[in-house]
Amino acid sequence: MVELKHFINGISHPTVILTVILFIYPFIFPPTNWFEKWNKRLKFDFFWTKKGLITVYTFFIGFMIIGVQDENAKHILLKPDNVPIVGLLFLVHFFLWLSMNQGMKNDKLIDAGEKPNEYHDPKDKVLVWPDLVYIELIALVLLMAFLLVWSIGLEAPLEQPANPTNSPNPAKAPWYFLGLQEMLVYFDPWLAGVVFPTLMIIGLMAIPYIDINREVSGFYSFKHRRIAASIFIFGWLWLWINLIMVGTFLRGPNWNFFGPFEYWDLHKLEVLTNINLSDLIYIKLLGVGLPENILLREIFGFIVFFGYFLIMPPLLAKTVFKKLHQSMGNFKYGVFIFLVLSMVALPIKMYLRWIFNLKYIIAIPEFFLNI
């Protein structure tokens, strides 16, 4: 048991678990034919059957049962702040399963030359009055009863009066902002707190204008919308939900990483000394001091930054996204690739921090511009 806990602590370090998920995810949500072949061969579509749901839930519940018997894990799992996130784990998986399950069923029907389920006037269509309104009323009453029991059963996590000089350690944002707080570890506040959230909202609004595949509108399908679906699932599941989980369960005092069974040691020492790209190149590689001129100092950062956003789009248009570029046209492809590159910039920056201890690619604290 102790070894198992040590093992779980080891693999739950984000550098390990996020990498594992990053590599497995295209096989679970295949964006191309090649990945789909492997998806079939590895039988990953098992996850979206009823047995798959039961298996995953058994795994979750088993983990919770083992967890509450351990003092450290119990502290994180049953903390009133964190209870909604434990619920989120089950709910998110259920709705993911529901949509993927229906999508897989429809994909099979379409492959067999039939029309998807939604065309056959399924039984789940009901009259608004009285059926739907009654269902809504019952759902409302049940939810109210549930919230009442919850609010009585779990005491609100009230703390001492706010004191600006005494931040709680760790100081965690409300759970729905923990993804943002995790981004803030890797980016300057105006990027992680202003630019990225804006881009997320704009990106979500832009989806219907970028993905205008009318053939599969009106019913669940994964295969016929696989690029859109897999990109969205990457941003939503890997970046948003995952970072909330990491922020909730794996961040401890001094914002260090802690495994779920690890004691929250206030003095855990993690070597995080990190440096800017300009320091890395001028001091470590070239062995000269930083130039006085800011532009000259950050020239490599600008090259990397503009190279990423100006050279990558045409490069990808010629190679990986060739078909997509042809079907979309220049403008739509431009918007699409800008949003995708911005999204992928987050994991890239995370890995740069983890591997090279890189703090900022462009660091101009004089003008509050740090990227």
Among 24, 132, 133, 272, binds other proteins (CB under 8 A): 272
Asked if residue 282 binds other proteins (CB under 8 A), the reply is no
136: buried, middle or exposed (CB in 10 Å: 19+, 13-18, 0-12)?
A: exposed
CB of 276 to other proteins, least distance (A): 9
Nearer to other proteins, 52 or 193 (CB): 193
Asked if residue 198 binds other proteins (CB under 8 A), the reply is no
CA 304 to chain CA centroid, Å, is 25
Nearer to other proteins, 117 or 274 (CB): 274
Cβ pair 184, 171 in contact under 8 A: no
CB of 18 to other proteins, least distance (A): 17
The dihedral through the CA atoms of 260, 262, 266, 267 has a sign that is negative
Distance CA 357, CA 245 (A): 23
Determine how many CB atoms are found less than 10 A away from the CB of residue 260: 19
Binding mask 139-168 for other proteins (x = CB under 8 A): ------------------------xxxxxx
Number of residues that bind other proteins (CB under 8 A): 34
In sequence order, the β-bridge partners of residue 257 are: 251
Q: Which amino acid is at 36?
A: E
Among 63, 274, 283, 290, binds other proteins (CB under 8 A): 274
DSSP string, 205-235: HHHHHH---GGGTTS--SGGGHHHHHHHHII
CB of 5 to other proteins, least distance (A): 24
Degrees, nearest 5: CA angle 213-208-106: 45
Determine how many CB atoms are found less than 10 A away from the CB of residue 71: 9
Nearer to other proteins, 84 or 193 (CB): 193
Segment contacting other proteins by CB under 8 A, of 8-16, 261-269, 303-311, 331-339: 261-269
Asked if residue 193 binds other proteins (CB under 8 A), the reply is yes
Asked if residue 43 binds other proteins (CB under 8 A), the reply is no
Nearer to other proteins, 33 or 163 (CB): 163
Asked if residue 267 binds other proteins (CB under 8 A), the reply is yes
Distance CA 352, CA 53 (A): 35
Segment contacting other proteins by CB under 8 A, of 6-14, 28-36, 250-258, 282-290: 250-258
CB of 346 to other proteins, least distance (A): 13
Among 84, 170, 197, 347, binds other proteins (CB under 8 A): 170
CB of 248 to other proteins, least distance (A): 15
Show contacts of 106-113: CB within 8 Å, 24+ apart.
106/219, 106/220, 106/221, 107/221, 107/222, 107/223, 107/224, 110/221, 110/223, 110/224, 111/223
Distance CA 67, CA 136 (A): 36
Nearer to other proteins, 86 or 245 (CB): 245
Asked if residue 19 binds other proteins (CB under 8 A), the reply is no
Nearer to other proteins, 72 or 370 (CB): 370
CB of 359 to other proteins, least distance (A): 7
* Residue 363 dihedral angles phi and psi, to the nearest 5°: -125, 100
Asked if residue 278 binds other proteins (CB under 8 A), the reply is no
Cβ pair 289, 281 in contact under 8 A: no
Asked if residue 33 binds other proteins (CB under 8 A), the reply is no
Per DSSP, the three-state class of 370 is strand
In sequence order, the β-bridge partners of residue 363 are: 370
Cβ pair 316, 337 in contact under 8 A: yes
Binding mask 348-367 for other proteins (x = CB under 8 A): -----------xx--x-xx-
Nearer to other proteins, 314 or 365 (CB): 365
Asked if residue 368 binds other proteins (CB under 8 A), the reply is yes
- Footprint on this chain of other proteins (rule: CB under 8 A): 163-171, 181, 184-189, 193, 253-256, 266-267, 269, 272-274, 359-360, 363, 365-366, 368, 370
